């Protein structure tokens, strides 16, 4: 079981033995997010090919290629670049299909995940990048929702199919959000555990230091007490020699 976990870790994030647990889990979440988004993309690619609903399948192919590249870059250890490629591409594809949304806005739901992911996969040292990608998702939603600009030509789709897609997207977005929040909780727990461990180590070192200082004080007191009598004798002899 441990060996299988190690193999899975190597497949998803490569070698991260020298990285912190928090960095490892963020890199792991990035790989999982890329794979889940590619799986979702592949699902809708197959459905649209079967139903012949979507004339812009090249966006799906584009994301599958770019997602694969981002996954390999993340495994190679260039996590920040992989996260940036992943978030830019997923926001672009979501915007492309959201910009031509019909009456039932099925794709808009993915902007929730697009806004949530940067807050989780970027740590505190990259909070400005997280803010940029959240702003990118919000901007994409506003343009898609309130303007007529579109990257994908409109096409009639059966209302029953649209309702089914909306329900599917709702389940997918809910599941992805739960996974993201779960990883965030795990990351926070690991950070808190690390801080508690370090605090315990500091307390133990302080106790050791206090004990060492007490022993040093006792040694100095004992040494000074033991040396006082001989020094007094020497001082007495010196005084006698001066009077003789």
| pLDDT score for 2 | 46
From first to last of its 244 residues, the chain has per-residue pLDDT tens of: 446 556 767 777 777 666 676 777 788 888 888 988 898 888 888 888 887 766 678 888 999 999 999 999 998 889 899 999 999 999 999 998 888 766 556 788 889 889 988 988 887 788 899 999 999 999 999 998 888 888 877 767 677 777 777 888 888 888 878 877 777 777 667 666 766 777 777 888 888 888 888 778 777 777 766 666 666 666 666 666 655 5
What backbone phi and psi angles, to 5 degrees, belong to 19? -95, 160
- Is residue 114 within 8 A of residue 95, CB to CB? The reply is no
- Is residue 144 within 8 A of residue 85, CB to CB? The reply is no
- Is residue 22 within 8 A of residue 187, CB to CB? The reply is yes
| pLDDT score for 216 | 81
């Amino acid at each position: 079981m441990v060996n299988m976990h190690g193999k899975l870790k190597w497949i998803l994030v490569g070698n991260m033995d020298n990285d912190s647990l928090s960095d490892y889990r963020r890199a792991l979440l990035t790989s999982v997010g890329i794979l889940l988004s590619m799986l979702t993309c592949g699902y809708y690619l197959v459905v649209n090919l079967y139903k012949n609903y979507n004339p812009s399948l090249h966006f799906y192919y584009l994301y599958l290629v770019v997602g694969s590249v981002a996954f390999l870059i993340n495994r190679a250890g260039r996590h920040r670049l992989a996260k940036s490629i992943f978030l830019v591409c997923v926001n672009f594809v979501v915007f492309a299909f959201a910009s031509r949304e019909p009456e039932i806005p099925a794709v808009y739901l993915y902007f929730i995940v697009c806004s949530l992911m940067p807050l989780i996969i970027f740590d505190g040292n990259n909070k400005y990048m997280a803010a940029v990608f959240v702003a990118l998702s919000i901007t994409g939603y506003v343009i898609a929702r309130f303007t007529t600009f579109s990257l994908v030509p409109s096409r009639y789709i059966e209302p029953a199919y649209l309702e089914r897609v909306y329900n599917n997207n709702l389940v997918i977005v809910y599941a992805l959000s739960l996974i993201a929040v779960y990883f965030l909780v795990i990351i926070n727990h690991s950070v808190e555990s690390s801080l508690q461990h370090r605090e315990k180590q500091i307390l133990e070192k302080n106790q050791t230091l206090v004990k060492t200082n007490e022993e040093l004080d006792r040694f100095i007191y004992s040494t000074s007490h033991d040396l006082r009598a001989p020094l007094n004798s020497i001082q007495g002899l010196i005084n006698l020699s001066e009077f003789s």
